């Protein structure tokens, strides 16, 4: 483009000479750029980002890279609510606050919010479960699965990991089968005229998207209709090099801005911009349930907590577990500002204790008469009421209050050890809600509701005694424990566990009891399917695959694997005794074993079992 044409393009776009003077190399290349790209360039210069063009050679050299640079800028601009300028502006403010050591909770006084504390199997628990199952057909589920899982260090995606190795059911399969079972149970409970397919959204990222899609496609969506599943991919955000929020250039490619994940808070903006929320609202849905990638227990807590949301009319319901004072898990806290603002929010454990001390509680966070802190532990599974959620997102466009966590080189806080970025968390959604919003929580025992797989074996082995490992080992053992305790509560005599060490972690080993979610989702269903005098020895394995399997007067000392089609009904009882399935230790470093085995430190050796599948319609009995 002739220089006069460039000048006229510039004057049309009102990019002024002073701005361009800060980036002479950009000026030389303006002829390569479209009007839209010049607009973006102007925005970058206005936001003090002229360093991005410092190394740009004259036109004719690396032009494709220059255009690729603007494609990336365009993406970063388009995927952030308010655009890249807004991102940089917010970053400047948050970096200044961080440098000044400003406490985000200044002026707030903490108190215990109100919520529901449930005990598994009690009457109100059963009632909430019943209410929750009824509501499930008005719900949509959202799994946030864009995280890298650096702490776990697994080479695959986390949702592809087996939740337990007795049946090798991966987390994604467990989740989908649970949603489908809820869909059926909800339909049956309301005797609805038409069955609604519960929508299931998975938030992915560049790190997980293609492998999540492949896992779904190669497994026929684990029985779910493919149109029921929506994948929404989150984008990364630009990294920041200094307190002036100058964008960081990639060390490998000077035409690329360094990016990092923005956090699971992105889910709100993505849902909002996808149009799905409106679609669900128009279809009469009422609830959106958010959950994470590796909690094999979660669906044991879903029916009752959804029942709490519906009964208590909570706009926001955070699932929580009892938390020891000062335990390293965020506490759900009501914060009241001196100016009258209030919010019920997750406060990280290292902020909660000082906040309490500064607010007239000299001992900080301490256990009460229950032996636990009055501030319940947030497990980051949220139930939002759709109507108020849409109302709020219409105002915020899904933007969530962000934070920045730079690692400074020294106490002057003038330089970073490495680039940083803004992050946001999905549980910070209530921060912008008006005081009239009904924000509560539902507490359930951790053995029932929470056993995530986040830590690699080496780090898990270093966890101080008494604290949860949150490893693949503990995540699997927690499933057996929960199933065993649930059966105990239903009247089955289940032997005590033994203590064993795998990958340096001492865990309780209960009988390996597993069932498909459609066998029983609620305690009432379990009680309905287990009767008479039943017992299960510690060395036993029991796998139930089939909706209409009734366990009656069963004495199990070995392995029993039983399945049936939906049109069959099977009574299983009598004495089942065989050598069963043993648990064998595996060394984490044993290269001959697959990673999914090494990561948990054991494998199941199938020695002897009674296995029977009923694939014809009819009534059957299995009584060895």
The pattern of x and - marking residues 101 through 140 that bind ligand UTP according to CB under 6 A reads ----------------------------------------
CB atoms within 10 A of CB 80: 22
Check residue 174 for interaction with ligand UTP (CB under 6 A): no
Complete DSSP assignment for 423-488: E--GGGGGGG--TTS-EEEEE--HHHH--B--B-HHHHHTSPTTS---BHHHHHHHHHHHHHHHHH
The pattern of x and - marking residues 293 through 312 that bind ligand UTP according to CB under 6 A reads x-------------------
**Strand 559-564 with 610-614, pairing:** parallel
* Cα separation, 146 vs 261, whole angstroms: 9
Give me the helices (H) in 192-338, please: 209-218, 266-274, 276-282, 298-312
What tokens appear for 159 in the block? 């949702």
CB 353 within 8 A of CB 329: no
CB of 24 to ligand UTP, least distance (A): 38
Q: Which stretch binds ligand UTP (CB under 6 A): 147-155, 270-278, 391-399, 542-550?
A: 147-155
The pattern of x and - marking residues 491 through 530 that bind ligand UTP according to CB under 6 A reads ----------------------------------------
Q: Which is nearer to ligand UTP, 150 or 496 (CB)?
A: 150
The pattern of x and - marking residues 381 through 400 that bind ligand UTP according to CB under 6 A reads --------------------
Check residue 144 for interaction with ligand UTP (CB under 6 A): yes
Give the total of residues touching ligand UTP (CB under 6 A).
19
CB 316 within 8 A of CB 431: no
CB 365 within 8 A of CB 391: no
* Cα separation, 490 vs 525, whole angstroms: 10
CB 292 within 8 A of CB 143: yes
* Cα separation, 617 vs 621, whole angstroms: 13
Q: Which stretch binds ligand UTP (CB under 6 A): 51-59, 150-158, 487-495, 599-607?
A: 150-158
Pick one of 121, 147, 511, 517: the residue that binds ligand UTP (CB under 6 A): 147
Q: Which is nearer to ligand UTP, 243 or 378 (CB)?
A: 378
CB 399 within 8 A of CB 293: no
Q: Which is nearer to ligand UTP, 398 or 558 (CB)?
A: 398
Q: Which is nearer to ligand UTP, 261 or 307 (CB)?
A: 261
Q: Which is nearer to ligand UTP, 264 or 286 (CB)?
A: 264
CB atoms within 10 A of CB 467: 11
Measuring CA to CA, which residue among 416, 529, 429 is closest to residue 483? 529
Q: Which stretch binds ligand UTP (CB under 6 A): 146-154, 325-333, 371-379, 536-544?
A: 146-154
Q: Which stretch binds ligand UTP (CB under 6 A): 99-107, 144-152, 457-465, 501-509?
A: 144-152
CB of 432 to ligand UTP, least distance (A): 20
Q: Which residue's C-beta sits nearest to ligand UTP? A: 147
Pick one of 132, 149, 376, 558: the residue that binds ligand UTP (CB under 6 A): 149
Site residues for ligand UTP, 233-272, by CB under 6 A, read 234, 261-264
Check residue 150 for interaction with ligand UTP (CB under 6 A): yes
CB 266 within 8 A of CB 205: no
Report angle CA 441, 447, 453 to the nearest 5 degrees: 90
Cβ-count burial 192-210 (b if 16+ within 10 Å, e if not): eeeebebbbbbbbbebbbe
Site residues for ligand UTP, 437-466, by CB under 6 A, read 454
Q: Which is nearer to ligand UTP, 378 or 483 (CB)?
A: 378
Q: Which is nearer to ligand UTP, 203 or 604 (CB)?
A: 203
Pick one of 145, 399, 530, 586: the residue that binds ligand UTP (CB under 6 A): 145
CB of 274 to ligand UTP, least distance (A): 15
What tokens appear for 175 in the block? 């989740």
The pattern of x and - marking residues 203 through 222 that bind ligand UTP according to CB under 6 A reads x-x-----------------
Measuring CA to CA, which residue among 240, 290, 239 is closest to residue 266? 290
Q: Which is nearer to ligand UTP, 152 or 215 (CB)?
A: 152
What tokens appear for 588 in the block? 């984490």
What tokens appear for 432 in the block? 């912008």
CB 477 within 8 A of CB 444: no
Q: Which is nearer to ligand UTP, 27 or 233 (CB)?
A: 233
Give me the helices (H) in 30-112, please: 35-46, 63-78, 83-99
Q: Which is nearer to ligand UTP, 83 or 153 (CB)?
A: 153
CB of 95 to ligand UTP, least distance (A): 20
Complete DSSP assignment for 243-280: TT-PBPBPSS-TTSB-EE---TTHHHHHHHHHTHHHHH
Q: Which stretch binds ligand UTP (CB under 6 A): 142-150, 320-328, 362-370, 391-399?
A: 142-150
Q: Which is nearer to ligand UTP, 30 or 144 (CB)?
A: 144
Backbone angles phi, psi at 533, to 5 degrees: -100, 105
* Cα separation, 220 vs 517, whole angstroms: 18
Helices and strands in the chain: count of H runs, count of E runs: 19, 31
Q: Which is nearer to ligand UTP, 293 or 525 (CB)?
A: 293
Backbone angles phi, psi at 557, to 5 degrees: -140, 80
The pattern of x and - marking residues 184 through 203 that bind ligand UTP according to CB under 6 A reads -------------------x
Site residues for ligand UTP, 52-91, by CB under 6 A, read none
Footprint of ligand UTP (CB under 6 A): 144-152, 203, 205, 234, 261-264, 292-293, 454
């Amino acid at each position: 483009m002739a220089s006069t044409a460039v000048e006229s393009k510039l004057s049309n776009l009102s990019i002024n000479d002073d701005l361009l003077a800060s980036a002479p190399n950009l000026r030389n290349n303006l002829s390569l750029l479209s009007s839209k790209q010049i607009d973006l360039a102007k925005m970058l210069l206005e936001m003090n980002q002229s360093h991005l063009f410092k190394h740009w050679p004259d036109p004719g050299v690396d032009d494709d890279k220059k255009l690729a640079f603007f494609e990336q800028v365009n993406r970063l601009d388009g995927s952030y609510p308010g655009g890249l300028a807004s991102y940089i502006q917010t970053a400047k403010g948050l970096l200044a606050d961080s440098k000044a050591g400003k406490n985000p909770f200044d002026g707030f006084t903490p108190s215990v919010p109100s919520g529901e504390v449930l005990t598994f199997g009690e009457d109100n628990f059963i009632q909430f479960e019943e209410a929750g199952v009824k509501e499930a057909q008005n719900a949509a589920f959202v799994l946030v699965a864009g995280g890298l899982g650096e702490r776990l260090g697994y080479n695959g995606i986390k949702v592809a990991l087996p939740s337990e190795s007795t049946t090798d059911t991966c987390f994604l399969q467990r989740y989908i089968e649970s949603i489908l079972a809820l869909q059926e149970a909800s339909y049956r409970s309301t005797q609805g005229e038409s069955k609604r397919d519960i929508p299931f959204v998975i938030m992915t990222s560049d790190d997980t998207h293609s492998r999540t899609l492949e896992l779904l496609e190669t497994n026929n969506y684990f029985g779910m209709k493919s149109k029921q599943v929506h994948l929404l991919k989150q984008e990364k955000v630009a990294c920041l090099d200094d307190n002036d929020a100058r964008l960081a250039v990639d060390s490998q490619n000077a035409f690329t801005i360094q990016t990092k994940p923005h956090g699971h808070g992105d889910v709100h903006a993505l849902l909002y911009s996808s149009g799905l929320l409106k679609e669900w609202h128009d279809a009469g849905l009422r609830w959106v349930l958010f959950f994470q990638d590796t909690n094999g227990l979660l669906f044991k807590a879903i029916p009752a907590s959804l029942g709490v949301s519906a009964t208590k009319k909570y706009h926001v319901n955070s699932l929580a577990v009892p938390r020891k004072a000062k335990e390293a898990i965020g506490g759900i806290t009501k914060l009241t500002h001196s100016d009258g603002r209030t919010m019920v929010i997750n406060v990280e454990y290292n902020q909660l204790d000082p906040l309490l001390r500064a607010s007239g509680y000299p001992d900080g966070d301490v256990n009460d008469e229950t032996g636990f802190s009055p501030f319940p532990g947030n497990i980051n599974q949220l139930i939002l009421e759709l109507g108020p959620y849409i109302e709020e997102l219409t105002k915020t466009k899904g933007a969530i209050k962000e934070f920045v966590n730079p690692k400074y080189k020294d106490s002057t806080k003038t330089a970073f050890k490495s680039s940083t970025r803004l992050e946001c968390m999905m549980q910070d959604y209530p921060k912008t809600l008006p005081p009239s919003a009904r924000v509560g929580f539902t507490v359930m025992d951790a053995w029932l509701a929470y056993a995530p797989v986040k830590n690699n074996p080496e780090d898990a082995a270093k966890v101080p005694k008494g604290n949860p490992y949150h490893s693949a080992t503990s995540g699997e053992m927690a499933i057996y424990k929960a199933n065993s305790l649930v059966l105990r509560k239903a009247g089955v005599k289940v032997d005590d566990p033994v203590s064993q060490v795998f990958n340096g972690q001492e865990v309780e080993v209960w009988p390996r009891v597993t069932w498909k979610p459609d066998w029983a989702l609620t305690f009432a269903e379990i009680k309905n399917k287990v009767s008479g005098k039943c017992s299960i020895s510690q060395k036993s394995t029991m796998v139930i695959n089939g909706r209409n399997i009734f366990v009656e007067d069963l004495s199990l000392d070995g392995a029993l694997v039983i399945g049936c089609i939906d049109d069959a009904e099977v009574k299983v009882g009598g004495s089942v005794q065989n050598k069963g399935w043993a648990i064998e230790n595996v060394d984490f470093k044993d290269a001959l074993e697959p990673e999914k085995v090494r990561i948990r430190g054991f494998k199941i050796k199938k020695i002897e079992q009674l296995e029977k599948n009923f694939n014809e319609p009819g009534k059957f009995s299995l009584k060895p």
